[in-house]
Structures are given as C-alpha cells and as structure tokens.
Chain A
Amino acid sequence: MTAPALQQPSSQQTPPGAEAPRALPPPPPAPPGAPSHRLRFAVGVLVASLVVTGLSWMLLSRARAGAALALEERKATVATLALADLVVRAGGSGDGVRQALAAWQQQAPAGAQAKVIAFDGLSLEAATDAGLGAPRRLQRDEKPLYDQGQRLRAAVETNREESVVRKEEVEIAAQPDGSLLLAAPVELDGQVRGMVEVRTPRVVVAPSPSSGSAGLALLLPLVAFFALALVLGERRVGLALAATFALALGVGFYAWHSVSVVVEDRRAASEEVADSVRTQAETARELISRLGLPADPPVVASSWDADAFRKPRGWLTAAGQVDAGVLAGRLAQASGDVVRALVAVALLALLLLQAIGLGSVGALGRTLVTHRRAYAYVAPALVGMLVLVFFPFFYGITLSFTDSNLLNTSRPLTELWVGLKNYVDILSDFDLSRTSADGARVANYTNFYWTLGVTVVWTVTNVVIGVSVGLLLALVLNTRGLALRPVYRVLLILPWAMPNYITSLIWRGMFHQQFGVVNHVLALFGGEPVSWFETPFTSFLTALTTNGWLSFPFMMVVSLGALQSIPVELYEAARVDGASRWQQFRAITLPSLKPALVPAVILSVVWTFNQFNVIYLVTAGEPGGSTEILITQSYKFAFEKYRYGYAAAYSTVIFGILLVYGVFQNRVTKATEAV
C-alpha cells in the first residue's frame, strides 16, 4: 500500500452511547430522617420573604433615587429655560441681560450659578460669579463653552431642517460633585445667537425607603404562616397553600407601601416643579415691567417644564398649576409599573418557596453533594454553554414574540410584545409574486416559501453533487496499485482545508463579469460572457459551483476510509462464487459504505442548509434576494433591515425545520439499523 491507510478510529469499536456508562460512585443513599413539612415550608416562607422584600426594597430605593434625580433635572431645566427666555427678551446681550441674570439669581436657590454667552463678539455677556469680570471676550480656555453653544445651535438647526426632533437641545451633564450642569440655546428671531449655562447646587441624595415597612413585610408572612401551620399540622397541600397565602400577604403589603411611596413622591415632585415654575414666571413678569422688556409673546411658564428637546412635558396648565387629569394618568401608570415589577419578583419567590417546601431544593442539594465530583468536572463547560448558548437561544425566542427593531431597543420587551404576529406574517404569506409600482407582476423573492424552496433545492443539489463526486473519486483512488495515489489525495483534499470564506471570495472574483476567469474560459471556446449575478439561475449556479468545490473532499475522504476498511477476502470469496463486478459492488461495496456515508450525509445536510458564508459572500442574494437561503435571509432581516423581532421569528422557524429534520432522520436511521 502506497497510500497512508486511513485509520479507522478506535472510538468506533465502542461507540458512544451504545452502552450505559459504568459509574464509579455508588448510588445516592436515601436521606435519613427528612425534615418535617412544616419546618421546610417555614424555611421556604422565610427565604422567599427575604428574597421578595430584599429585591423590592432595592427596586424601590433605585426608583426613588431615579425619581429624585429626574426631579432635580426638571427643576434645573425650568430654571435654565426661564433664564434663556429672559435673556432672549433682554435682546441677548447688553445691560438688560445682566439685570435679568441678577433678578434671576434673586429667586434661584443658593449656590446656583449661571453664565450667558453671546456668539457675536464671542463674549461672556453676564455671569453670576462677579469674579469672572463679565462682560468680556471669551478666553482661550473657555473654548469648550463656545463649542457647546455651537453644538446646541447645530442641534436646533438639524431638528428644524429634518422636522424630526432627534438632537438634544438642552444638554444636562451630572458633575462629579453631584451638581448638574445645563446648557440651553438663546434664540433671537429664529436664530441661535447665544447660550445660557446653569450650574445647580449639589443634588441632595434621595432618602432610602423606610426599613420599618420592609421589616413588617418580612415579619407578616412568617407570623401568618406560623399561625396557619399550628392549625394545619403536617398536611402538605394545606401547608403549601398556607405558605403561598402568607407570601402573598407580605407581597401585597409591600406593594401597597411601594405604590403609596411612589405616588406620594410623584405628587410632591409635580407640586415642587409647579411652584418653581410659578416663582420663575413672577420674576419674569416683574422684570419685564421693571425693565420695560417686550411682553410679547406672553410668558407661558408651563413651557419651561420641558424635556431635552424643549418640548413641554404637559404636566402643567398654562397658569403653572398641576394638571390634575394628566397627573392622575401618570400616577396610574407609575403604580402599574410598580405592581408589575413586584408581581414578577413575587412569582420568582413563590417558585423558590414551593421548591424548598416540597423538598426539591433539598433533593437537589443532596444530589449535588453525592455527585459533586462529576458536577465539578461538568460545571465550567455547562456555565459557559448556559450563558453564551442556551440563554441567548431562549432570549432570541422571546425576542421573536416582540416587535423589537433598531428604534426601540431601549424599551422593555413587555411593551413590544406582539404575540405570534411575526410567525403569522412569515408563514401565512403565500404571495410568490406581487404587483410592482408600474402595475407589472414581479416575483416576491422575500417570501418565506420562495426562500425555503431555494434552500431545499440548494441542500439537495449540493449533497447529491458532493456524494456523487466524492464517491466517484474515492472509488478511483481506491484502485490497488494506482501510481501517485497520495499526491492525488492531498491535492484533492485542499478545498476542504482552505477557509471557506476565502474560497467564497475567490469564486466571487472568478465569476466577475468582465475580468473573471470563468468568462474568459467561455470566451476561449467561443461563448459570450455571462453576467452571472443578474439572473436567479446563473447566480444560483455560482454558489452551487463554489459549495460543490469545497464540499466534495469531505465525502471523498469519508468514502475512502470506509472502502479501505473492507477486507479483500470478501471480494475474493465473491469472485470464487462467480459474482460479476457489478454484483460485487452492489453486494459488498455499497453495504460497507452505508455506516460511514449515512452520518456523513446527515451532517452535510445540516451544514449545507446553514451554509451562510457561501451564499452571503458569493451571490449575496443577488439578484434582488432571489438566491438567498433561509439563514442569510434572516441575517439580512436582522442586520440590514434591523427588524430584530421578525428576524428572530424567522430564525426560530429555521430551528423548527432543523429539529423536525433531526427527529425524522433519527427515526429513519434507527429503522434502518433495526432491519
């Protein structure tokens, strides 16, 4: 034999899963004297209450801190926009501005600072800090101020041009010392001509939620459970219900507490903002009459309570009073959010409670201890798989029930929930053609069933080509005494060794319409150059050629390995019996190939079905997405059309197809083995 014999793997002698593993550790002993149901449920209630109270306390304090910060920002925005309004009325520069700033400072909280910048003459027009010596030209180290002003001007102009408000017109930056630094544009006659900058005094840290109510929320379920347990005794179902009730009691109490805290906070915050708006408005009116500033347009104080795009938030009436209707709506929304969050936490805790109470946690713990060595060996891989394979998978499935896209990724998934809509959209669209703008019927290549058809044709043709070419070459190479066999073998295996993205890009180059080698070869034999990527059929052929080229060596190597393991004696015996060459092939060669070829075909079906690189890099779906296969199509939905939810549903359908195929082929192989 000149060729290096392809070693049959020793692992095939004892195939995995063919027999039960011989375990080293003994079976787990039965737990001696399991603790009573009452004790277990008591522990469950304690743990679940701790979890629920702890988590909700954290959520509540975070929500309060967030609300406090938001309140400071609102108040600061009111102060800043009021100042900007005054500066505009005072003409943007000159003594009026300085008087307006002085009046503004009178009513501003102690420690608030402000600067007014005018772009004309690059000047610092006014500043609350007398040490800065306003008015004067901006100095070199104040360049960032000027840049910020220009940025705001650009934002205002962009928003106006696009008539879509997407650039922030008020910049708010939290400072390291806890104060806020705000900047707003000064607009004169529709043009941004300056900027005001306001620095608030230090923001007071939000109060933590009271620990008293948290303690009560912890104690309440325990007391309730003990009372009920005394009555119930050791009845499991009764205890489970009692524990659930006790937990619900605690959660209900804390939910009531949280909602009232949040609602009270919100109400107080609105009042506070309304107060500050009214004070600002009075100052403004007083100043206008004192300095004789233009009173037209009239002061609309509520417009100062605005977001970063200078759109009024709508909480206040024009007179600067809290709008009761709006407030009630927002409060209902806020308490709804609180209740939803608490219910989620409570369900988690309930699961934990029942797991502990019914003994699953105990059993789990005992199993972990008994088999700790095995679990220690599996743990690293398992954790990796859970975090980076299984969690993303289930997250992706969840995503498929939402309308998630590029514009709404920051919103929680529950708000984007659309149920089965994506699946219905994908699977119920049977229109393989549609009417284009000029009334003609054109094929609809983005239709799921078209792409599915292409994928099936793609998979079948590729596997047929791969198996036939590979098997033919293997049979030829298996000829005894054939010269140069190792050389042929290594050269024929090269396409498999090359990274397939490189292969794909090479073939894309070779199919180039003007410079590609394939068209040169056609021309050599008198053919016309073909624009390969302009019709679906030729475009499909390029991908098929590429994938055929890179996939036949696998089949060849697998077949060659199987062929070389057939004992020569079999053929000799057959010849003695007078079998013809064809009979020998049918009776000996083919059956011996089957155990190696069947798994190879199964593998290559899955590979080809998901062959992303070849389609994506060779045809890129051209023309018009007609040569897209399912996997590349779903990639395009996700990363070119940014329809994340739809793309996730599309991928889930692909997974479903593969799963059905997997189960089906498993049945078939089992059936063929049984025969």
Chain B
Amino acid sequence: MSAAPGERIPHWPLHVLLVVAVVLTIYPILWVVTIAFSGNQSLAISTLPEDPTFWDRLRAITPWPQTFSVSNFTSVMTEQPFGRWILNSAIVSLATTVVGVFLACTAGYAFSRFNFPGRRTGMMAFLVSQMFPGTLMLIPLYIILVQWLGLGSSHIGLVLVYATTAIPFCVWMLKGYFDTIPKDLEEAALLDGASSGQIFWRIILPLARPAVAVTALFSFMTGWNEFILAATFMDQELMYTAPVGLRFFVGGYSQQWGYFAAGSIIVSIPVVALFLFLQKYLVSGLTAGSVKG
C-alpha cells in the first residue's frame, strides 16, 4: 500500500508475497535453464523411479540438472544449423531496425512539424492499420512477396514486411516525442541559415535520441521475435530465422527439448538484456500515444 511516511507497517508479509510471486515468475525460466544444461533431450528434470517417494517427486520439480553438461549448447551450434538461423535472425532484425527507424523518423517528423492536407487521415490510417488482423494480410502478403516479387525465402522480403509492420507504432511514438521539442530551436537554426535537412539530422534527431532508441528496440524486437510470417515465407531450412528453428526442434513429432532449451537461452539473452536496459522508455512510449493530459 502506498503507505505514508511515519506510518510503519510490518514489511515481512509483503516480502513473503513478493518471494512467492518471484518464485512463480522465474520458475519457467529456471526450468528451461535446467533442461538446457541437463545434456539430454528429455523434458523431465529427473526420471522418477517406479515407486517414487516424496523426495523423488521433489527432486523432479527442483530446477537443477541431475548431471551438468553444456553438450546441448555445443551441439545446437555445431551439429544443428542453429548458428545459421541466429545469423539469419540477426541480419533480418538489424536491417529491420535500420529501415524501420529511418522510415519512422522521417514520417514522424513530417506529422509533427508540417501541416499538410492528408495529415490527419494519414495518422488515423496508420492507427487503424494496427487493428488489421495478421491472418487477413498473410495470404495477400504471400502473393505479393513470393509470387509477384519473388522474395520468398529471402532476407529482404522479411525485412520489408517487418519494417512496415513496425512503422505505425514507431511513427506515433516519435511524433509524440518530436511534439515536445520546442519549435524555437528550429526557428533559430532557420535564422542562422540552416537547411531543412540540416535541422532534421543535426538538431531534431540528436534531441530525440531516447525516443529513437525505443523505436530501434521495438523494430529490433519485431524482427527478432516474429514467428508466423517467418514460418510462412521461409520454406528453405537454411533460411529459417531463430524462432522458426526453435519451433522446428519441438513442433510436430520432434521432441528435442534439450536443443530447444539451449537455443531459447541463446536467443533470449540479447533481447532480455536490451529490454531490461530500455524498458522504462518503452512503457512511457506505449502509454504516451493514448494518454491525454
């Protein structure tokens, strides 16, 4: 409770509650780490004997591997084409970030600074496009990218789709931030003889660095975590992205939980780190778009 100063309430029940919440929260993560370091492909932590005692059962849910081994990590990178899949994901996500941030910055700037016919319509259209169901777009996108443009199983096709899917959120986010940058700065620069391009690149973008960082994070995560489109467009095993590859380990009749767990950890570390680093901006960005006052 938002206890006011001077009024002390005992903290230990709160700690109990929080510890329980934390245990429940991180248990699945500990579980996947345990499977990853177990060195085999089973999804059980330990094998139960015929007539298990209480301690056997407790052992089976304790997230600590019976035998410690990094073999899952080494074989997922060497025997399986997982390294290649990570590389694909990295290429696609970085390119998505570059393209997405560029498109969103220019558009966001125009929406924030210029008053032109179609401005309101454009912004509303961007907003409404967020409601388009993915499944409605999948078939046409497949026809356009694979059949018309011949970009099936290529990095470029995915990058284009991811960058455009990320645009509406990024544009709204950046527009909101550009709105807060005082106009006087630009007017002063104009008086000093700066061109419109110089103002945008030299003044506005550096000032908007936090918002650009969030936009970049969002674009990167769009590319890194996306699953359905990649699964639909990438039909060559060599061109899978990491999410499609991970699903390949445990989807259908395949039950390679060890590879899956090791791969999951490798894939998650960069995004989790980035996320924890930038999350406070992300939250503000998510809510800023629709909060008034």
Contacts and interface: CB of A to CB of B under 8 A. Distances in A.
Given A381-B167, A499-B267, A502-B246, A659 B131 contact: yes
A589 B57 contact: no
Interface stretch (B67-75, B80-88, B281-289): B281-289
A600 interface: yes
Interface stretch (A72-80, A92-100, A269-277, A516-524): A516-524
A11 B288 CA distance: 7
Given A479-B11, A610-B133, A631-B134, A377 B107 contact: yes
Contacts of A612: 134, 228
Contacts, number: 351
A378 B103 CA distance: 8
Nearest to A394: B140
Interface stretch (A346-354, A431-439, A482-490): A482-490
Interface stretch (A172-180, A321-329, A506-514): A506-514
B64 interface: no
B288 to A, nearest CB: 4
B224 A7 contact: no
Interface residues of B, number: 119
Interface string A630-666: 0100110011000010011011101100110010000
B292 to A, nearest CB: 5
Contacts of A557: 279, 283
A13 B18 contact: no
Contacts of A393: 129, 132, 136-137, 140
A377 B110 contact: yes
B291 A638 contact: no
Interface centre among A509, A512, A571, A634 (most CB of B within 10 A): A509
Nearest to B61: A520
Contacts of A453: none
Given A7-B280, A7-B284, A479-B14, A658 B133 contact: yes
B88 to A, nearest CB: 15
A90 B231 CA distance: 55
B43 A515 contact: yes
B179 interface: yes
B3 interface: yes
Contact of A14 (B171, B180, B232, B247): B180
Interface stretch (A22-30, A155-163, A244-252, A312-320): A22-30
B145 to A, nearest CB: 8
Nearest to A636: B135
B276 interface: yes
Contacts of A479: 1-3, 9, 11, 14
A21 B54 contact: no
Contact of B2 (A498, A589, A651): A589
A389 B292 contact: no
B104 A381 contact: yes
Given A11-B177, A14-B180, A651-B133, A6 B276 contact: no
Interface in B242-267: 243, 246-247, 250, 257, 260, 264, 267
A639 B229 CA distance: 12
Contacts of B4: 568, 571-572, 575, 584
Given A388-B164, A498-B268, A651-B135, A16 B44 contact: no
A554 B282 CA distance: 10
Contacts of B112: 16, 21
Interface of B: 1-5, 7, 9, 11, 14-15, 17-18, 21-22, 24-26, 28-29, 31-32, 35, 42-45, 48, 52, 54, 57-58, 60-61, 102-104, 106-107, 109-117, 119, 122-123, 125-126, 128-141, 143-144, 160-161, 163-165, 167-168, 171-172, 175-177, 179-180, 183, 186, 196, 200, 211, 224-225, 227-228, 232, 243, 246-247, 250, 257, 260, 264, 267-268, 271-272, 275-276, 279-281, 283-293
23 contacts: A11-B179, A15-B293, A18-B292, A21-B114, A23-B115, A25-B114, A25-B115, A381-B106, A388-B164, A389-B132, A393-B140, A395-B143, A395-B144, A482-B15, A496-B279, A497-B271, A500-B225, A516-B43, A558-B286, A558-B287, A596-B287, A616-B228, A659-B131
- 7 smallest CB-CB distances across A and B, nearest first, come from A9-B284, A23-B115, A651-B136, A374-B114, A377-B110, A392-B140, A381-B107
